[in-house]
Structure 1
Amino acid sequence: MFVSDLRKEFYDIIKGKRVLILAHFDIDSICASKILQSLFKADHILYTVVPVQTHTDLVNAVQQHCEQIKHILLINCGGCLDLVDLLQPEEDLIFFLADNHRPLEVTNIYNDGQIRIISKLGDDEEVPAFDDVFREDESDEDSEESDGEGGKRRRFDEETLEKKRDRRLWEQQRQKILFDYTQFSSYGSSTAALMFDLAWKLSKDSNELLWWAIVGETDGLMREITERGKYLLGSATFQNHVSRLNHKTQDEHALDCIKISFDKDLQMAMYRHWSLVESMRHSVYTATSLRLWTLKGEKKLHELLAELGLPLTQCKQEYCGMDINLKAEVQTLLEGKAEKYGLSQLLFASFSLSYGFRCRFSASDYVYATSALLEPNDRDKTAAEAFLDVTDSLSMSKMGVLEKGIETGKQQLGAIYRQVQTFLDMNQVISAGPFLYATVIEGTPDARFFAAPHCLSFLARFTLRAHVQVARSKKSRSLPLIITTPDVRSAEPGLCLVCGIPPISEESHRNFFGKAFEQAAMKTGAKADMEFFDSNIIRLGAEDRSKFFDAMISLLS
């Protein structure tokens, strides 16, 4: 069932209770949980936060805590699973679902109260009607009558046959409706934004909470799970909050003052904390638009910088060390020449944060840094420790962790760029007919970076856009991409991660690979682990990869 009043039907119910928060491994989830923790501390609500990455993690966490806790909040996880069937919970256990994954499981939507959905459905999201997917089972008693010896014999009269035929047709229609409903996976609005809205309604909002919500929203844009139009609508709402909360800080002491501003920003990775040349080379938009992995592209970049009047020596050093007059004009100069060099979308509406006398951080800087901290290339660090690092990096008092994340983010972007260049130089992006595919070869030095869902997805998006830029066939714009990499982080040998992304010609970010992977695995009997909450990413036995791809070609042809 859906919760209509977040304050009365969610927050007031958990006040005074102990709450278990199960947060998915993504930046939006962590930002949402940070906002909630701030609210809970203010109201002295006891809580436990457990990060969950797979379905098994979810089941284990609930089993471990269900005896002490009767209210569980699931952030960006569990919404697409039949929770009652999966967890077999006691009747007094209440689940609150704040999940941006779509489509939501119909059994959760029509649950009579044990599962309460606090996420909001978009105007374009349609849910099957209750009568189309649920039906009371017909009793067999009507189709049976007693025989002369006290036993029973089945009557196959016309009425009974008609009921059976009607039931069969209804089942067929139900399967079609559910297939159409679950065929594509997508994402709803940011959960961090939803939690900030709750904080605002409780009059407990602040600049810090607003910033976490902005980072959560920006994460969706950068992962390409939020459409640009929806992002702009969300930004307009945040802009109102920025105006409301930031006029008060004008006269406050600058040392510990948080100031958020809204303005146009460059679509370039962490350029305030890097050099302009390196940032442009490692940003998906500028690298693919100028083809910076080629000599011709490198020459074009130098030509652009010369035309802007920016000396190469200045552009190759750290941005913070550039001449102050040049630095002040960089954005205006690039905007003036963007159209000429095919960079018409170089600027986008964004938010930036100033904290005391430190360097400014944009919301995208935070996303790059926290994403790198979440999936570190460190064999000794556990997933839970990485989750805590991201949580720390969002606190203004621990900016050192964020700065470490920015350095890690640079390493991650460097690994992605090198791998994309290898794919293109070696012609390793291959057309399989209905889709493109690429494989990270086992033993690749940077393979450990890609054996993580978010980094692999980023590599897939960069690879697809770069391939489309150099491909001779225009058909490549309308082809999706499947990318695989050895799962070197797994304790079990012989596994690979598989990620599928939609074609760049698609305006909506709906993804059909979740359902397609499931059908291909069933068809081939492949050793496929579909434990991730993002259904377009699976773990597969490397020996089954060939027959799995054959099944995918057959399915999508």
Structure 2
Amino acid sequence: MFVTDIRKEFYDKVVHERVLVLVAFDVDALCACKILQYLFQCDHVQYTIVPITGRQELENAFLEHSEQVKYVVMINCGGNINILETLQPAEHVIFFIADSHRPVDLVNVYNDDQVKLLMPTTDDFDIPAYDDLFKDDESDDDSGNESDSSAPSGKRRRLDEEVLERRRERRLWEEKRKQILLDYEEFSTYGTSSAMIMFDLAWKMSKDSNDLLWWGIVGLTDQYINNRVERGKYMTDVGDLHKHTLRLNHRNEDDDNTVSVDCMRIYFDEELKLALYRHWSLFESLKHSSYPACKFKMWTVKGQQKMHEFLADMGLPLVQVKQKFTSMDMGLKESFKGLFTASCEKYGLDDISFGSFIAQYGYKNKLCAADVVYAVNGLMECVEAEKSATGYFLEALDCLSRQNVKKLLRGLDLAKRQLTTIMQTVHSFIDMKQIISAGPFLYAYIPEGHPDVKFFSRPNCLGMLAYFMQEAYVATSRSRRSTLLPMVVAAPLNAETGSALVIGIPPKAEESTKNFFGRAFEQAAIQTNSRTLHDNFDTSIIEMKSEDRSKFFDALISLLS
């Protein structure tokens, strides 16, 4: 059931009880969790936060805590699975689900008692009618409707015809239902950011602040830079957040001298698609950001020469662009963005900017929302074996607080390593022609001996690699059809169990983020008896036995041809 008043139907109910909060491993979920955590601390609500990476961990976490709680809040998990069937909860347990994954499971939608969906009704859910999915009529049971042998033959004949007619109607209804479900579940996609939903709750409770607004902004930005929402949807949501930004950051220019050194100010600005350039050098950022790197074809000598021409056209000396951005000449730093956008059209970089937000902490730290997304993801998917997955989750959660700038800076360093590894892998695959056109889709496999294979055992990092590879392939391919091909990337996951992680992404040409690989992966696995695990909340990401990879992909090619 969809919640229409999030304060009355959700927060006011849980505020006096102990709450179990289950949080998925993504930046948007962390930001939503951070906002909810702040609200709970304000009202002294008792809560337990458990990070979960997949459906099995969801079941384990609920089983472990189910006896202690009446209310369960699920952030970016649980929306697209039948919660009651999966978890088998007691009748008194109520689930509140804020999940951006689509489509939403229809049993969750139509359950009025135990499942409450914290999702804006403005989203396009395209929910089928109840009568097309569920039959409450007991008269469909034919067991008591068999013709009475003692009845006259004419009446017996009429009863038989009635039973046959009801069976025929039932069969037609079931066929129609099956088709409706197939159409509804055909594509997976994403809806409104969960962090935005939690910020909206804080605003309605008059507890919003710049810190909470910033977490909402970072959650939305995570969706955009990871290709989870379309540009139109992103710009609509940015417009909503911009109104809050103006409201919470409104002050007279004359008041600047009275502002505290540790204050936070947020403002809207056009941001460049240059990853971490404020914390790196311009040269490294251009080289490791997918959009300019693929436009210039940075993996070729000619491409690097073209980039040098581009920098010379802007009037930026190599000595300046190869040092840290913070160490650049002040005049060049201030005029850099104007010079950059002025030269972009000439070099085909016509989509180099997007609307975003910047946070200024006092006089020192200046952060773009996209930089924070990279940093949080860098901490969350850290490949160093110092801590458990839960340890890295909690560190990533902590780095969102502006008091923990050191942790955020560590996240930025880890993000640079991630981006460098991704670029090197793309360069290697393009040079060796290891991105294969398998007919209906592009395909790449990271070999077991690859030096950086551990980076790609993480779903978000593998997803970033897949989009970078796809863009690089399209940039180098002479075939116009390349933009119409989706892409599948696989990487070794666990050498001991012989498993691999597989991700599928939609075609480059499609403006829509709708992804059909979830259904395709299921069918290919069934057809070939492949040992797969559909544990991720994003259905286009699966695990499988490496031994079954060959027959699985043969079946996938056959299915999509």
Normalized against structure 2, the TM-score is what?
0.96
Give per-residue Cα distances to partners, 1:236-295, cap 9 Å, x unaligned: 111111111112584554421111111112110000000000000000111011111111
Q: Partner of 1:89 in structure 2? A: 89
Shift in Å at residue 154 of structure 1?
Answer: 13
In structure 1, give the amino acid aligned to 2:381: E
The 5 A counterparts of 1:436-455 are: 436-455=442-461
Deviation larger for 132-141 or 431-440: 132-141
Question: Distance in 2 between the 1:507 and 1:217 partners?
Answer: 18
In 2: Cα distance, 1:51 partner to 1:278 partner: 34
- 1:140 corresponds to which residue? 142
1:233 counterpart residue number: 236
Does 2:174 match 1:175? Answer: no
Q: Deviations over 1:178-227 (max 9, x none)?
A: 00000000000111011101100100000000000000000000110111
Match of 2:219 in 1: 216
State the match for 1:337 in structure 2.
Answer: 343
Q: Aligned partners of 1:208, 1:508: CA distance in 2, in Å?
A: 32
Q: Tell me how far apart the structure 2 counterparts of residues 225 and 522 of structure 1 sit (CA, whole Å).
A: 27
Alpha-carbon contact 2:379-2:411 (below 8 Å) kept: yes
Q: Find the aligned partners of 2:458 and 2:534 in 1 and give their Cα distance.
A: 15
1:41 aligned residue: 41
* Alpha-carbon shift at residue 168 of structure 1 (Å): 0.9
Aligned to 2:272: 266
Identity %: 49
Aligned positions of 1:268-287 closer than 5 A: 268-287=274-293
Asked whether 1:493 is paired with 2:494, we answer: no
1:8-407 paired onto structure 2 within 5 Å:
8-136=8-136, 137=138, 138-144=140-146, 157-248=160-251, 250=256, 252-407=258-413
* Partner Cα separation in structure 2 for residue 75 and residue 155 of structure 1: 56
Shift of 1:141: 4.2
531-540 vs 374-383, greater mean Cα deviation: 374-383
* 3-state SS of 1:523 partner: helix
Paired AA for residue 449 in structure 1: F
What residue is the counterpart of 1:419 in the other structure?
425
Q: 2:530 aligns with which of 516, 526, 529?
A: 526
SS at match of 2:228: coil
For 1:359 and 1:90, locate their aligned partners in 2 and report how far apart those are by CA, in whole Å: 49
Question: Among residues 432, 435, 438, which one is paired with 2:438 in the alignment?
Answer: 432
> Conserved in 2, the CA contact under 8 Å of 1:23 and 1:52?
yes
The residue identity in structure 2 corresponding to 1:548 is F
Matched residue type, 1:461: Y
Equivalent pair of 1:271/1:319 in contact (CA under 8 Å): yes
Q: Which moved more, 1:287-296 or 1:373-382?
A: 373-382
- Quick one: distance in 2 between partners of 1:252 and 1:186? 46
SS in 1 for 2:269: strand
- Contact persistence 1:19–1:46 (CA under 8 A): yes
> 2: CA distance between counterparts of 1:343 and 1:191?
32
Amino acid at match of 2:161: E
- Structure 2: distance between partners of 1:156 and 1:52: 55
Q: Secondary structure at the match of 1:532?
A: coil
CA drift of 1:491 comes to 7.1
Alpha-carbon RMSD across the aligned residues, in angstroms, is: 1.6
Contact preservation (8 Å) 2:435, 2:444: yes
The answer to whether the Cα contact below 8 Å between 1:447 and 1:485 also exists between their aligned partners in 2 is yes
TM-score normalised by the chain length of structure 1: 0.97
Deviation at 1:327, TM superposition (A): 0.5
Alignment of 1:471-510 (within 5 A): 471-487=477-493, 490=494, 492-510=496-514
In structure 1, distance between residues paired with 2:468 and 2:483: 13
Equivalents in 2 of 1:437, 1:205: separation in Å? 45
d(CA) in 2 for partners of 1:491 and 1:549?
A: 20
Unpaired runs of 5+ residues, structure 1, are: none
> Which residue identity lines up with residue 524 of structure 2 in the other structure?
A
- Tell me, what secondary structure is at the counterpart of 2:417? helix
Question: What amino acid does structure 1 have at the position aligned with 2:312?
Answer: A
Question: Does the 8 Å CA contact 1:265/1:350 hold for their aligned counterparts?
Answer: yes
Residue aligned with 1:499, SS:
strand
Following TM superposition, by how much is the alpha carbon of 1:402 offset from its aligned partner in structure 2, in angstroms?
0.3
Contact 1:478 1:505 in 2 (8 A): yes
Deviations 1:145-204 (A, max 9, x none): 6668xxxx9998111111111111111111100000000000001110111011001000
Alpha carbons 2:199, 2:216 under 8 Å: kept: yes
What letter is aligned with 1:142?
A: G
> Given that residues 32 and 213 in structure 1 are in contact (C-alpha distance below 8 angstroms), is that contact kept between their aligned partners in structure 2?
yes
Inter-CA distance 64–307: structure 2 relative to 1 (3 Å threshold)? same
Letter of the 1:139 counterpart: D
- 1:144 alignment partner, SS class: coil
What is aligned with 2:153?
Answer: none
Report what 1:514 is aligned to: 518
- TM superposition shift of 1:520: 0.6
